[in-house]
Amino acid sequence: MTAAIESRFIDPDAIYDADALARIVFGDTSGPPGIENGVPTLRLKMYGEARDGFAEIWTSAGPIRSGSVNGLVFAHNDEFLFCAGFIPVSDRYTDATRHAYGDAFALAGELNFAKIFRMWNFIPHINGANDEGLEVYRDFCRGRAVAFEQDYANASGMPAATGIGTWGDGVGFCFLACRESTVRHIENSRQTPAYEYPQRYGPKSPSFARGTQLHDTLFVSGTASILGHETVHEGDLDRQWSVATDNIAHLIGAENLEAQGLRSGYTLHDLDQIKVYYRHSADLPRVTKLAQATFDSHASVRYLKVDICRADLLVEIEGIASHRRRSD
């Protein structure tokens, strides 16, 4: 059996499926995840006002079991697991991250969902310094890397991910995992694999793949204006936008996928469920225009004003590529 897993964006107050796997509320509050109306819910403070927010709902057919343990909440059907957790705000993240992620990986293993295919990490004060003077993102990356090295037993590799700012009082994280499905982690020949970034970006490299393919769906990681391992076009929003979207187009295109043994290729018009993270409020009108010119007019796009993991990045984009729309 292969059930599909799908996400959609809805109003934060809208009625949602009681058998949803997950609900992530991008609103004006944050905190540890809980089970709300039977559905694991992670609240991330991403906006100053509740009315600006939205919720992302993940659904998959079949009976669902949900629960919570160790501050983690989860839900799964026969094929897919969602798990979320939270690390309170701190001036040192390495150990807490290592433990929280280690617990989450152990839970996924115990529930027999060994393959993580998409992960999100929302980090407060991401460009700030911890009590050793190390940038918070780098501190976080150190703990996450150790958890992947020591507690993530699965050989399928590191998943597609987003590591981005939040206005909340702690790190909110969540991931999706599966059992036996074929999961393929994809790299981008225009970019150095993040897990091979040189040490100048931090003591431990970020733990993620540029994308992950599951069945006919390619989950695209947060993607920015980085070529090789270097930020390009510091201070220039339009140019950063074009490098970021060219990076996505290349990642999901036939040439890059074929070089990694995959047959399907996608274009930017196959991208949906798009999140555009932008650093400066004043850039929103421009970012909206650029998105309208770049993506399919039917694609769902949401905009979030947050800090980005490198102080010189102005914009970062994630989404999901599939051929579904074409055959609609």
- Which residues would be at the binding site for ligand 3EB (CB under 6 A)? 121, 161-163, 194, 206, 208, 221-222, 224, 226, 309
Distant-in-sequence contacts of 241-248, Cβ < 8 A, 24+ apart: 241/287, 241/290, 241/294, 241/315, 244/315, 244/316, 244/317, 245/294, 245/317, 246/190, 247/188, 247/190, 247/191, 247/223, 248/220, 248/223, 248/317, 248/319
Write out the binding residues for substrate.
137, 144, 197, 210
Dist. CA 309–CA 279, nearest whole Å: 10
Query: In angstroms, what is the minimal distance from the CB of 61 to ligand 3EB?
Result: 29
Query: In angstroms, what is the minimal distance from the CB of 160 to ligand 3EB?
Result: 8
Nearer to ligand 3EB, 41 or 240 (CB): 240
Nearer to ligand 3EB, 107 or 158 (CB): 158
Annotated catalytic residues are 316
Query: In angstroms, what is the minimal distance from the CB of 116 to ligand 3EB?
Result: 12
Nearer to ligand 3EB, 39 or 185 (CB): 185
Nearer to ligand 3EB, 102 or 222 (CB): 222
Dist. CA 49–CA 57, nearest whole Å: 20
Residue nearest to ligand 3EB (CB): 163
Query: In angstroms, what is the minimal distance from the CB of 221 to ligand 3EB?
Result: 5
